[in-house]
Structure 1
Amino acid sequence: MDATLNPERVVEFFGDSFEKVATYADELAVQGEMRGLIGPRELDRLWERHILNSAAVVQYLPSSGTIVDIGSGAGLPGIIIGCMLPEASVKLIEPMERRCTWLSEMVQEVGLPNVEVLRGRAEEFHDAFEADAVTARAVAALDKLSRWALPLLRTGGEMVLLKGRSVADEIEPARKVLRKFKCSEPEILSAGTIVGVETTTVLRTIRGK
C-alpha cells in the first residue's frame, strides 16, 4: 500500500470488500506495468491515484441492478465496483483482447461472480440490455462518452462518470446528445474517500424517456 496512506483508514473505508480489493491491487502492482495496464510511475501511488479514486464513484451508484463500466481497461473502476457492490450485476465493456484477458483473470482471481467481461465497443451493446447506471474513467470527452453510454441506460438510469476538474467545460459541447436522451441537467459532484486523499470529480445525469 502507498507509504503516504494510513492502512487502518483504508481497511475501514472498504470494510467487507477490503480483501477482494487488496487482492486485485496486489495483482495490478505486480503485473500492471508488464502488461501495459499502468505506467511505472503509478506504482507508488496505486492506491491513492487509482484504487481509491475509482472507489469514490461507488457512493453515487445503485447498490443493485445492472452497472456498466465502459472502456474498463485495467478494471478501474469496474473491478473495484464489483468488489464493493456484490449485489449489483457489473458488466465490463472493453474492446482490447489483452485487456479482456486480464479482466477475466481478475474476475476469477478475486472471486467476483457478479462481474461479466464483454469484449467490444459500447456501441455494439446498445440493444443488448438496459443498465441502471453507466460509468467510465479516463475514456473520452463527455460528448463522445454520452453517445456511447446513454443508449445503454434504461429510462431513469444514471450516467455517473469520473472526470477531471475541467469537466464543466465539456458540458456545452455535449448538450445536443444530452437533449436527445432528455437528460437531467448534469451535476458536478465531489466524491471523497478517506481523510488526506484528494477528492474525485464525478459528473452525474439521469436519462429521460
Structure 2
Amino acid sequence: MSKEEQAFRPGTGPEGERVDAAAIAVAPEDAPRPTAEELPAVEHYFGENAELAQRYVGHLASSGIERGLLGPREIPRLWGRHVLNCAAAGDAIPEGALVADVGSGAGLPGIALALARPDLMMVLIEPLDRRVQWLDEVVEDLGLERRVDVVRARAEQVADEIDADVVTARAVTALRNLIPLTVPLLHGRGQLVALKGRSAAEEIEKAQKIIRKFKGHDVSVETFGEGFLEEPTTVVRVPIG
C-alpha cells in the first residue's frame, strides 16, 4: 500500500469474522434488473461498471434486506429510486474529489457514486456496526477497496481526521441539523451535496442562520438526471468558504 493510500485510510470497519460477500449476494442474473426505460440511465451513469452496479443491486436485494438496511418493499424500486437516483448526484461533484458520505447506511449514495465515478475517492462514514460490516463486505466483493474506505464513527468523531472536498448525505436529517454534522469535514472549503426531496427549498429557508454560521454561501437547489430518470435527483448544494 502506497503512502497516499495509507494517508487516505483514516479508519476501517470492525474486526471479527467476515462473511463471504460473494456467497450472500443475489447472483446478478437473479437480482432485480433495470427496466427498459432505466437501461439508458444505467449505461449513461455506470458505463463499464454496469455489471458491478447490477451486483451491488444483488447485495441490496439479498443481505441488504435481510439485515434491515432496506425494507422488502424497496426491491422493485432499487434501480430507479435508489441506485440511479444516487448515481445522478455525481454530476454535482468535481473530478478527482475526496468525498465523505455521512450516514452511508446501505451505501447510498456512497457505493453508487464510487461505481458511477471511478475518479472519486470515497470515505463511507457510518456509526452502526451491522451496517459497517455489510459495507465492508460489499466494498470488498465489488473490488472497490483501493478507492473506498469504511469508517465506523459519527461524522463529528472523525472531523479532525478526514479532510474532504465534498460531503454527501441522503436521508440523514434536516438541513439545519445536517450542516453542523457535515461541514466540519470540509475544514473551511468545499461543498455539501445533500440529496433531498420536494421539501428542499423549505429546508434551506429554515437553515439560513446555521448556513451563515458555517460560512455557507450561494446555496442552490439543483436537479440532475433529466432525460434519463423518470424522477430527477434533487440536490441541495452548499458551497463553503
Q: Is the 8 A contact 2:45 2:87 kept in 1?
A: no
Aligned mates of 1:101, 1:109 — CA distance in 2: 12
Classify 1:194/1:107 alpha carbon distance in 2 versus 1 (closer, same or farther; 3 Å): farther
User: Given the alignment, which residue of 11, 34, 58 partners 1:26?
Assistant: 58
Moved segments of 4+, more than 6 Å:
none
Task: Give the superposed CA RMSD.
Answer: 1.6
Q: Mean Cα displacement is larger for which, 5-14 or 46-55?
A: 5-14
Aligned mates of 1:117, 1:6 — CA distance in 2: 29
Classify 1:67/1:9 alpha carbon distance in 2 versus 1 (closer, same or farther; 3 Å): closer
Classify 1:14/1:102 alpha carbon distance in 2 versus 1 (closer, same or farther; 3 Å): same
Quote the residue 2:117 is aligned against.
Answer: 85
CA deviation string 1:158-208 (max 9, x = no partner): 101100111111112212221122211210001116535211110001111
User: Given the alignment, which residue of 22, 34, 49 partners 2:81?
Assistant: 49
Quote the residue 1:96 is aligned against.
Answer: 128
Match of 1:184, SS state, is coil
Alignment of 1:128-139 (within 5 A): 128-139=161-172
Classify 1:82/1:10 alpha carbon distance in 2 versus 1 (closer, same or farther; 3 Å): closer
Classify 1:6/1:173 alpha carbon distance in 2 versus 1 (closer, same or farther; 3 Å): closer
Quote the residue 1:148 is aligned against.
Answer: 181
Match of 2:99, SS state, is strand
CA deviation string 1:16-53 (max 9, x = no partner): 22122121111111222111011111101110010111
Q: What TM-score results when the alignment is normalised by the length of structure 1?
A: 0.93
Greater C-alpha radius of gyration: 2
User: Given the alignment, which residue of 198, 204, 208 partners 2:231?
Assistant: 198
Match of 2:66, SS state, is coil
Quote the residue 1:17 is aligned against.
Answer: 49
Identity %: 45
Quote the residue 2:91 is aligned against.
Answer: 59
Classify 1:183/1:177 alpha carbon distance in 2 versus 1 (closer, same or farther; 3 Å): same
Q: What TM-score results when the alignment is normalised by the length of structure 2?
A: 0.81
Aligned partner of 2:152: which letter? R
Classify 1:191/1:12 alpha carbon distance in 2 versus 1 (closer, same or farther; 3 Å): closer
Q: Is the 8 A contact 2:57 2:79 kept in 1?
A: yes
Shift of 1:81: 1.1
Aligned mates of 2:189, 2:39 — CA distance in 1: 38
Aligned mates of 1:76, 1:163 — CA distance in 2: 13
